[in-house]
Amino acid sequence: MQVLMISPGMQHPQNSGVGAAAGNIANYLAEICQLKVIQSGEVSSIHSTKQRIFLEEAFSVETTIQDIVKTISNPIQVYNTTSLVEDSIVISEVQNQLASFTREVISEVSNHDFDVIYAHDWISFRAGIELKKKLNKPLVLHVHSLDVDRISTTHHSWVYEEELKGFETADAIIAVSNYTANRLVRHYRIKPEKIHVIHNGIDLPKTHQSKKNRFKSPLVVFAGRLAEQKGGSTFIQIAEEILKSMPNTRFVLAGEGELKADLIELVTQKQIGHRVHFAGHLPQSQLWELFSEADVFCLPSKSEPFGLATLEAAAMGLPVVISKQSGVAEVLPEAITPDNQDVASFYSAILELIKENNKAKSIGTKNKEAAALLTWSTAADKVAKTLKSVI
Partner 1 sequence: MHQCSTYCFTLSHAPTDYSFFDIGSEKAYLKSTSLHFSKTSISRVLARKKSIKISCYFAGDYLKSLPADEIKSIKKYVSNGQIELLAGTYHHSFTCLLSKKLFQEEIENHLQLINELFEIRPKGFYNTISIFSDDLVPMLIKHKFLYSYAPALEWYMRGIDQISVNSIDPKLKLLILSPSIDSKTMARQFPGESEESIQLKSIQAQDLFKKGKEKHTYALPNVTGRDASNRDLNFYLGNSLQKQVFKTLNSISPRIEKHKNKILKQHFLQLSTPHIFSLLHEDKASKLQHYSIIMSMLSDLELKSE
Contact residues for partner 1 (CB under 8 A)?
Answer: 214-216, 250, 252, 260-261, 264-265, 267-269, 271, 273-274, 277-280, 286, 289-290
- At closest approach, how far in Å is the CB of 298 from partner 1? 17
Nearest to 163 by CA among 153, 175, 154, 152: 175
State which residue, 43 or 261, has the beta carbon closest to partner 1: 261
State which residue, 48 or 248, has the beta carbon closest to partner 1: 248
State which residue, 106 or 279, has the beta carbon closest to partner 1: 279
Nearest to 125 by CA among 75, 174, 71: 174
Distance of CA 341 to the CA centre of its chain: 21
- At closest approach, how far in Å is the CB of 263 from partner 1? 10
Residues linked to residue 237 through DSSP beta bridges, in sequence order: none
CB 7 within 8 A of CB 15: no
CB 167 within 8 A of CB 341: no
Under DSSP, is residue 310 helix (H, G, I), strand (E, B) or coil?
Answer: helix
- At closest approach, how far in Å is the CB of 349 from partner 1? 25
CB 137 within 8 A of CB 115: yes
State which residue, 165 or 211, has the beta carbon closest to partner 1: 211
- At closest approach, how far in Å is the CB of 269 from partner 1? 6
Torsion angle defined by CA atoms of residues 216, 207, 374 and 22, in that order, rounded to the nearest 10 degrees = 110
DSSP 145-195: --HHHH---SS--HHHHHHHHHHHH-SEEEESSHHHHHHHHHHH---GGGE
Q: Is 197 buried (19+), middle (13-18) or exposed (0-12) by CB count in 10 A?
A: middle
- At closest approach, how far in Å is the CB of 71 from partner 1? 19
- At closest approach, how far in Å is the CB of 228 from partner 1? 18
- At closest approach, how far in Å is the CB of 133 from partner 1? 43
Q: What is the C-alpha to C-alpha distance for residues 197 and 178, in angstroms, rounded to an integer? A: 6
DSSP 44-72: GGIIIIIHHHHHTSSS-EEEEE--HHHHS
H helix and E strand count, the chain: 16, 12
- At closest approach, how far in Å is the CB of 42 from partner 1? 22
State which residue, 46 or 246, has the beta carbon closest to partner 1: 246
State which residue, 239 or 384, has the beta carbon closest to partner 1: 239
- Amino acid in the structure at residue 238: I
State which residue, 190 or 226, has the beta carbon closest to partner 1: 226
State which residue, 34 or 213, has the beta carbon closest to partner 1: 213
